[in-house]
Every structure is written in structure tokens, then in C-alpha cells.
Amino acid sequence: PLVLTARGTSVRSVVDAALDAAGCAPDVACEPTYMMTAVAMVRGGLGVTILPATAREVRAEPELVAKPIDDDAFVRPIALVCKRGRTLPRVAQAFIESMLSQLRRT
């Protein structure tokens, strides 16, 4: 069974969309609010979970292993956030332009 974060969380939204697109109806055993709780439930043998590969909670657990999911359906949208109406320093603006240029190439 799956231990998935609660409905409405960003991780759960990505997982639900990917599973729906694949026509899968998962057997969800538990729906904790926090990723750390999901990790604890997996450690306790309640199932498996799907979390961001960068989750600190997983890296801090030597008895668990994270297997990468290499599927375009499991993409998590991200955003660059800055304060509205604020003029960014030149170095910050240059960084943003460089990053966006690199992303457009991939």
C-alpha cells in the first residue's frame, strides 16, 4: 500500500495527476500531512511513499532507500519568487536571466 501525503499538498497533486493519467487507482493506506510523517510510516513498515528526490527526510534515514522515478508525468512545477515591485540588484537579475536561458536550452 501507498503512504501518500494529504490531498491538496503539492507532492500529492503531482502523484495523483500522474497516477490518474496512467489509469491507476492506488491503494492508499495513510495520508499524512507532513513528509516526515510519511517517512516514519514507511520506516514502520506501513507501505511505500513517493516524495521529492531532494527531501531531507529521506536522506536522513539510513535504513530507507530512495529509488528515482524517471517518468515525465512526475514533474513538480517550480517558480522563481521575488518581492513584488522591488528592483532586483544587477547580479540577481543576471543570475535569473542566465538560469532562464539555460532552462530554455534543455
What is the tens place of the pLDDT at every residue in 17-40?
A: 999 999 998 889 999 999 999 999
Q: Does some domain include residue 103?
A: no
Establish if 104 belongs to a structural domain. no
pLDDT, averaged across the chain: 86
Domain total of the chain: 1
* Residue 50 placed within a domain: yes
Cell numbers standing for residue 74: 512526475
Quote the CA–CA distance of 34 and 57 in Å, as a whole number.
10
67 lies in a domain?
Answer: no
Q: By residue range, what is the domain housing residue 45?
A: 2-59
Q: How confident is the model at residue 105 (pLDDT cuts 50, 70, 90)?
A: confident
Report the alpha-carbon distance of residue 39 to residue 50 in Å, rounded. 10
Q: Considering the domain boundaries, does residue 48 fall inside one? A: yes
In a domain, 27, yes or no: yes
Does residue 53 lie within any of the structural domains?
Answer: yes
pTM: 0.70
- Residue 86 DSSP label: P
Q: 18 lies in a domain?
A: yes
Looking at the predicted structure, is the pLDDT value of residue 9 above 70?
A: yes
